[in-house]
A = this chain, B = another copy of it.
Amino acid sequence: MEIASMNNDEKPSNFFTKGLLWFKSLHEKIYTKIVGIAKQFKTIAKDDPRRVIHSLKVGLSLTLVSLFYYFQPLYNGFGVSTMWAIMTVVVVFEFSVGATLGKGLNRGMATLLAGALGVGAHYLASATGKVAEPILLGLFVFLQAFALTFIRFFPQVKARYDYGMLILILTFCLVSISGFRVDEIVDMAHKRISTILMGASVCVIVSIVVCPVWAGEDLHKLVAQNMEKLGKFLEGFGDEIFKSSEDSTESKVTKTSLIEYKSVLNSKNSEETLANFAKWEPGHGQFKYRHPWKQYLKIGGLIRQCAYRIDALNAYINSEIKAPEEIREMIKETSMKMSIECGKALKELSKSMRKMNLPISADEHVTNAKNSAKKLNSLLKSRINNWEEINLLQVIPLATIASILTDIVICVEEIGQGVNELASLANFKTTKSSKEIINTNKVIVVEKIELSNNHVVITINEQNMKL
C-alpha cells in the first residue's frame, strides 16, 4: 500500500511535466504545420490568381442556387428536387468555361435522353404484368449499364462525352427503377430536369460572366509559351556550351532559364485536355467558335519533337569540350549561329502567335540557320584535307552538337510550317502595310498603279533601306 501511494505521489508531477512537454511539442508541430500550409496556400494562389477567383465563383454559384431553398414559392414548386440544382453546381462547375459548358451540356442532354428512355422502359415493363416487370426492369438496367460502360472506352466518347455517359446510366436507372414505386414519374422527371437546367445555367452564366477562364486561350498561350521556352534554350545554348571556363560564375542565372524547356517534354496531356475543353467554347476574344484547335495539337507535337532533341543537347551543357582551337572556332561560329537563329525563329513564332499576327521574320531566321548548316557542311568538306593528326575523339562531342542542331533546324522549320498553317486557318492579321517589310532592310516603293484590260498593274521598286 505504501509503495503504491508513493508511486501515486510521484506519478502526478512526472505525468504533468511529460504532459506539458508533449503539449508544447504538439503545439510547435501544429504551428509549423499551419505555417507550412499557409505558405503553400500563398504559392498556389500566386502561381495562378485565377484559382482564388474560381473558388469565389464556386462559392457564389452555390449560394445563389441555395437561395432557391429560401424562396417559399420556388421551394413549394420543386420541393426536394431543389437538391438536384445544388448537385449540378457542385459537379458541373469547372475551372474553365469549356469544361463547365461541356459538363453542363453533357449533363443536360444525358438527363433528357435518359429520362425519356427510362419512362419508356418503365411503361414497357409495367405492361407485361406484375411478375415479369421486375425481371424485365433488371434486364434493362443490366443491359444499358453494360453497353454504355463499354461505349465509354471508345476514345472519341471518352474525350468528349464521358460524363454524359455516366449521367445516362445514372438517370436511366433512377427513372426506370424509381418508377416501379413512385406513380408520378413524369412529374418527377419534369421537376428534376428543370432543377438541373437551372443549376447548369447558373454555372454557365457565372463561369462566363465573372472573370471567365477560357480553355482555348490557355491552350493558345501554352503552345506559344512552350515555343518560347525552347527558343530561350537555343538562344542561351550557344553561349553556354562555347563559353570559356573563366566566365562560369554568371552561368547559374542563365541555367535556370535553360532548363525551363523540361516542362515541354510532358505537355501532351494538358494540351489534349485543353483542346477538348476548347471545342465546347463559344467564340471569345480573338477566337471564333470553330477555331482550328486541332492544329494546336499538331504544333504541340512538333514542339515536343524539338524538345526531345534539345534534351539530347542538354546532356552536353556541362561537359568540357577539348577540341583543337581551329575546329572549335570553325564549328563554334556556325553552330552558335544555327542555335541562335533557331532560337530567334521560335521566339518570333511564339510572339506572332500570341498576337495572332502573321510571322514575318521567322522564315528568314530559319533560312539563316539552314545556310549556317550548309556552311558548316561545306567547311567540313573543304578544309578537312588541310588538317593532319586531328583527334577524332575530341571532335565527336562538337560533331554531335552540330548534328543535333541540324536536326533541330529541321524541327524548327516544321514548327514554322505548322504555325503558318494555323495562321491561314485562323486568318492571322498582317501587322504592317504591305509597303514595308520589316527586318529585310528593304523598302518596296509602289511606283505606278495602272489599269490595263481587266488587271491592275502595280510597278514596285525595291530599295535598300538606310538604317
Contacts and interface: CB of A to CB of B under 8 A. Distances in A.
Contact count band on A: 35 or more
Contacts of A205: none
Contact of A380 (B380, B392, B404): B392
Interface stretch (A60-68, A212-220, A237-245, A247-255): A60-68
A50 B174 CA distance: 27
Contact of A392 (B304, B384, B389): B384
A397 interface: yes
A399 B404 contact: no
A189 to B, nearest CB: 14
Contact of A381 (B145, B393, B407): B393
A380 B393 contact: yes
Contact of A83 (B138, B174, B380, B395): B174
Tell which of A56, A177, A311 has the most Cβ of chain B within 10 Å: A177
Interface string A162-189: 0000100110011001101100000000
Given A59-B142, A66-B141, A70-B134, A150 B90 contact: no
Contact of A146 (B55, B90, B146, B308): B55
A143 B392 contact: no
Interface in A114-166: 134, 137-138, 141-143, 145-147, 149-150, 153-154, 166
A143 B70 contact: no
A221 interface: no
A38 interface: no
A371 interface: no
Given A59-B143, A59-B146, A153 B266 contact: no
B392 A91 contact: no
A366 to B, nearest CB: 18
A308 B390 contact: no
Contact of A69 (B149, B166, B181, B392): B181
Given A62-B142, A86-B174, A90-B170, 7 more contacts: A55-B150, A59-B149, A86-B173, A90-B173, A266-B269, A309-B315, A380-B391
